[in-house]
Amino acid sequence: MRRLLTNKWFITAISTLIVVAVIILGSFPGSPVNKVLKPVGAIANPVASFVNNVGNSISDFWVAVTDGMAIRKNNEELRAEIASLQYQLNMMEEAAIRYEELQEAFHIRETFSNYDIFGASVLSREADEWFSVIRVGVGNSDNIYLDSGESLAVVDVRMNLIGRVIEINEDDSKILPLLHEGFTVSGKVNEVNGATMIVSGDAMLKLQGLCLVTGIDPEVIPEPGDVIVTSGDGGLFPQGIPIGVIVDVDISDPLNITATLRPYSDIADLSDVFIMVPFNEEPDVVDP
């Protein structure tokens, strides 16, 4: 019997029966058990209320967490949608700009009616040299050819001189920009009987985005602000293509007057170019 009273399972079973009996007796109206348990209830009620409040707080916290997760997911979706719309807007703006450029390109054909105009996108240039040879996406497959000793003028959408074609392959071409030290073109002041001069690239000046002007006649020295265009001398470039504007003039050596010129075209920020190919005039056939 003593061993039985110390058995934990026996004690648990007896305790459970007592609790059940108390609950059953307390369910009867007027039961003395209610009077006995009343002080206990006074203590247990605040505890139960506290536990209930804690449970409600935990529930509210969980609802807030789940709502916050849902809001975060919605925000991410909205940000993705905004980014997509912004991308589409940028594409539309770029397309509008390209359309305007193509519209302006028609003026090149109107101005130089004896030339075919081939538009091409810039494909690449050396990363460490802004003004190295430029490769563009047009070539022999587009019916453009370059005979030995010839040169084809290259302009931007506003007809400003960029440089000249030096090589044409099957699907691409290489352009020597006017800022390159290997480039030279005959220019003149843009006025009737304007003074002629030589515009060329210079290894030092190109770092400032400038060209060197030499071959200046001491009797007709250009002034800062004078607009320089191609003269047409030599037949390599058509006359009248805008090159740039005189920045300053150095007359310290009267026998070698020089000047610097800032090109109109932004060589470092090109995306499209236009190659000017003169029409090939077929000789008239004379009947015998």
Percent of the chain with pLDDT over 70: 62
Give me the domain span that covers residue 176: 112-278
CA distances, 131 to each of 22, 31, 35, 201, 222 (Å): 99, 105, 102, 10, 26
111, 138, 153 - which closes a domain: 111
111, 138, 173 - which closes a domain: 111
Using DSSP, state whether 122 is helix, strand or coil.
strand
Higher-confidence position of 17 and 137? 137
- Provide the pLDDT for residue 128: 43
Query: Within a domain: residue 167?
Result: yes
Query: Within a domain: residue 285?
Result: no
| Dihedral over alpha carbons 166, 172, 178, 182 (to 10 degrees) | -40
CA distances, 211 to each of 17, 172, 198, 273 (Å): 107, 27, 10, 20
Query: In this structure, are 175 and 89 located in the same domain?
Result: no
Question: Quick check: 123 pLDDT over 70?
Answer: yes
Query: Within a domain: residue 288?
Result: no
Query: In this structure, are 98 and 218 located in the same domain?
Result: no
CB of 246 closer than 8 Å to CB of 259: yes
Query: In this structure, are 51 and 131 located in the same domain?
Result: no
Query: In this structure, are 70 and 133 located in the same domain?
Result: no
Q: What's the predicted TM-score (pTM) here?
A: 0.61
The rounded distance, in Å, linking the Cα atoms of 173 and 275 is 10
- Provide the pLDDT for residue 201: 93
**Which residues pair with residue 199 across a beta bridge?**
185, 213
CA diameter of the chain: 148
Query: In this structure, are 158 and 268 located in the same domain?
Result: yes
Query: In this structure, are 147 and 4 located in the same domain?
Result: no
Total of domains in the chain: 2
